[in-house]
Amino acid sequence: MMVDQPTRGESETIAFVLGGGGLRGAAEVGMIKALAEADICPDLVVGTSIGAINGAVVASGSLPEMARRLEGMWGELTARGVLRESVFSRVANIVRHRTHLHTNDAMRKLLLDWLPVKSFEEMAVPFQCSAACVELSSEWWFDSGPLIDAVLSSCAVPGLLPPVEVNGRHFIDGGVVNSIPISRALELGASTIYVLHVGNIDAPLRVPRNAWDVAFVAFEISRRHRFHSDMEDLPEGVTLHVLPTGLDGHSKFNDPSKLRYNHSASIRAGIDRAYEETVKYLTAPAAVGP
């Protein structure tokens, strides 16, 4: 999907916007791989939740190198999982902390192992990630200082991971307030935006049948509402590319009950599918304009 198409020029500012969506964020890896091969590099990167992890890697160095690093990171995630603590550990966490099933330990180790920089100031490309601030009940953007806690804040899915404390405030998953942060890219002056997302933006939702479905459907409504509102309010002269995941039209992915947060079996397929579809999109005449 492409919206608007102004003439390209030297003043163009390209932004990558990476949305949230758990392990379905594997699709963003395929998109990044295709963008790198097409030599489409960002001038700024913004991300939320899993998009904050992917975006932090992308903004850390040259795009071709970071695309390879990102694919390697997801390969490790597939092999060992990040949220695969035993049932005993999860029950212990609930008993001890009462608010979450998992600790941040595995996610922190993953970031320490794969992020080549440790602060926003070391980034090769300007990067920001969002979280929801509990005390302020508002959207919060991290753009300076230590990187790991900022990214963990953006990924702190309520009920699954604990809130992250930074400078006396507590933060939870940025997807609660802005899951596909097009608006932030516009605020930062983007004139061309590539939206990397997890798919099913327009797929029909069904009425929830269990507790997981309730949470999933509520999140999906919030995610899609903000996205479509931002699309409707897109300023004149801005080019926006919504990259394809290859999931839309695959009926089994339209069922929220099949999108378990710790199900990693389809990660490789998700990367490859999004890569193939994004390559097709980027090489189509409409994607590059006249």
- Using CB atoms within 10 Å of the CB of residue 2, give its burial: 0 to 12 exposed, 13 to 18 middle, 19+ buried: middle
Contact of 62 with 123, CB cutoff 8 Å: no
Catalytic hit among 49, 60, 130, 264: 49
Q: Tell which residue, 152, 264, 173, has the closest CA to residue 215.
A: 173
Which is it for strands 2-3 and 169-173: parallel, antiparallel or unpaired? unpaired
Active site residue 49: yes
Catalytic hit among 130, 153, 173, 230: 173
Contact of 182 with 155, CB cutoff 8 Å: no
Tokens of 197: 């997302």
Whole-angstrom distance, CA of residue 143 vs CA of residue 141:
6
- Sign of dihedral through CA atoms 94, 154, 234, 278? negative
Q: What are phi and psi of 109, to 5 degrees?
A: -65, -40
Active site residue 272: no
Number of H helices, E strands in the chain: 10, 9
Residues 236, 237, 239, CA angle at the centre, nearest 5°? 110
**DSSP classification of residue 130:** E
Q: Which residues are catalytic?
A: 49, 173
